[in-house]
């Protein structure tokens, strides 16, 4: 049975309803992951959960060891990751509490270790035309329909370095580029998962209107409140998704390294 990974973002440090079975501390050639991987069961599947900011939210987005986190999942035999993140809503009509199943990304991060392949194990260029696993996205959309949790099918995620929030002009420019939401953790998580041949889907919860869209000052409290309020919907969506995920992968993610090495 294939194992499923879940990465929790701001405000999501546990999955309600997950029956705990234990925890694993993992060491990796890239250093320490964000914390212990919690192992549990839900929807009849083995679930491995990691809060990316640490269980007490002490790791800021630009200090997360993305490589260690993804490597750890690989080491534990995880084939698919559902990644949950808080985002600012850029697109008109997106409201705090809305859930977006991402389909594209624009990477604007600058200072992150973004590959497992620094040359020692060859030069690798993975295909990233579709950053998110098609099969996993379809399963999430189907699950949303079945449990009547409204999700938006598709959204372009602008990944920024942080930890500061954006200026109003930055958000305006991201909108011109085609971004629908903005967040600080979506990259290089997605591309590292692809390098590790792990399927990866991005579930973004709109926590606030992005800078300049609402005239109010952005606060961390509103982000945390929106995430807490959305946790019931996220739980329903995850549980149904776990139950619906097919046993065998048929997507291209599982052979991402094929024809990608020089």
Q: Can you give the binding site for ligand HPA, defined by CB under 6 A?
A: 86-88, 160, 165-166, 182-184, 207-208, 210, 223
- Distance, CA of 29 to CA of 1 (rounded, Å): 27
Q: Tell me the closest approach of the beta carbon of residue 61 to ligand HPA, in angstroms.
A: 8
Q: Tell me the closest approach of the beta carbon of residue 146 to ligand HPA, in angstroms.
A: 28
State which residue, 21 or 228, has the beta carbon closest to ligand HPA: 228
State which residue, 133 or 160, has the beta carbon closest to ligand HPA: 160
Q: What angle do CA 253, 236, 54 make, to 5 degrees?
A: 65
Helices (H) then strands (E): counts for the chain: 5, 11
State which residue, 43 or 54, has the beta carbon closest to ligand HPA: 54
Q: Tell me the closest approach of the beta carbon of residue 156 to ligand HPA, in angstroms.
A: 14
**Can you tell me whether residue 197 is helix, strand or coil?**
coil
State which residue, 82 or 210, has the beta carbon closest to ligand HPA: 210
Best CA proximity match to 101, nearest among 155, 146, 178 = 155
DSSP string, 201-233: EEEEEEEEEPBTTBSSPP-HHHHHHHHHHHHHH
Q: Tell me the closest approach of the beta carbon of residue 37 to ligand HPA, in angstroms.
A: 24
State which residue, 144 or 186, has the beta carbon closest to ligand HPA: 186
State which residue, 108 or 147, has the beta carbon closest to ligand HPA: 108
CB 38 within 8 Å of CB 20: yes
Chain residue at closest Cβ approach to ligand HPA: 88
Residue in the structure block whose two tokens are 């699950």: 143
Q: Tell me the closest approach of the beta carbon of residue 148 to ligand HPA, in angstroms.
A: 25
Q: Tell me the closest approach of the beta carbon of residue 218 to ligand HPA, in angstroms.
A: 6
- Distance, CA of 130 to CA of 19 (rounded, Å): 33
Q: Can you give the three-state secondary structure of 99-125, one letter per residue?
A: EEECCEEEECCCCCCCCCCCECCECEC
């Amino acid at each position: 049975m294939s194992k499923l990974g879940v990465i929790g973002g701001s405000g999501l440090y546990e999955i309600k309803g997950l029956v705990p079975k234990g925890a694993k501390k993992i060491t990796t050639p890239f250093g320490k992951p964000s914390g212990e991987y919690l192992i549990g069961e839900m929807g009849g599947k083995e679930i491995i959960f990691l809060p990316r900011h640490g269980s007490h939210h002490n790791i800021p987005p630009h200090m997360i060891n993305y490589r260690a986190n993804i490597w750890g999942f690989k080491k534990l035999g995880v084939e698919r990751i559902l990644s949950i993140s808080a985002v600012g809503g850029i697109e008109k009509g997106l409201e705090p509490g809305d859930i977006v199943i991402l389909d594209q990304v624009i990477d604007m991060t600058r200072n992150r270790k973004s590959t497992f392949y620094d040359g020692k194990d060859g030069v690798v260029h993975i295909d990233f035309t579709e950053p998110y696993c098609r099969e996993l996205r379809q399963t999430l959309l189907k699950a949303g329909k079945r449990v009547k949790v409204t999700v938006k099918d598709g959204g372009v995620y602008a990944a920024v370095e942080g930890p500061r929030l954006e200026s109003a002009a930055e958000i305006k420019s991201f909108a011109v580029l085609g971004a629908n939401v903005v967040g600080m953790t979506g990259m290089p998580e997605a591309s590292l998962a692809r390098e590790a041949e792990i399927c990866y889907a991005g579930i973004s919860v709109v926590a606030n209107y992005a800078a300049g869209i609402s005239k109010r000052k952005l606060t961390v409290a509103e982000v945390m409140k929106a995430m807490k309020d959305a946790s019931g919907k996220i739980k329903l969506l995850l549980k149904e998704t776990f139950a619906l995920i097919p046993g065998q992968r048929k997507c291209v993610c599982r052979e991402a390294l094929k024809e990608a090495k020089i």
